[in-house]
Amino acid sequence: MNEYDKQEVIIAPGVAESIVYLAITQVEGVAQVGPKTASASGGLLGFLSKKPVYNGILILEDDGQITVEAHLKLYYGYRLQEVAARIRAAVADALLAHACIQVERVNIIIDGIIFKA
C-alpha cells in the first residue's frame, strides 16, 4: 500500500449537485430541474452569484448511505416511470463515474408537467 492509497478525497460543496444536475438534464423527457423563480433559486444572492444554484437537488448522507432527492418538471407525453428509471440510472452512474460516490437511493419528486408549445 502506498501513500496515495491512504489519502481521502474531499469534494467541494456544489460539485456533486452539479454532476447530478447535468446527468438529469441529459435524460429525454426532463423539462426542468428545480424551481425557476428568482426567490426559489437563491433570491438576489443567487442572481448575483457567478456560481449556478441547484435548488431542487438535495444530497443527503446518513451513516454512509447516500440519498439524492431531485425536484423536477417533465414534458407531457413521456411515461413517468420510464423517465424516472432513466434518471435514477443516470444519476447513480454519473456520481460513481465522476466522484466515486455510490448512491443508495434516488428519490424523484415530479412537481409538474410542462406542455411543449
pLDDT at 2: 61
Please give the pLDDT value at position 11.
Answer: 80
**All domains of the chain in start order, with CATH:** 22-114 (3.30.70)
Q: What pLDDT was estimated at residue 12?
A: 78
E strands present in the chain:
30-33, 57-62, 65-75, 103-114
Residue with cell 491512504: 6
pTM for the structure as a whole: 0.78
pLDDT given at position 117 = 72
Q: Which residues of the chain have pLDDT under 50?
A: 37-41, 49-50
In the prediction, which pLDDT does 39 show? Answer: 45
pLDDT, position 34: 85
Q: Residue 114: how many CB atoms within 10 A of its CB? A: 12
**Distance from the Cα of residue 15 to its chain's centroid:** 10
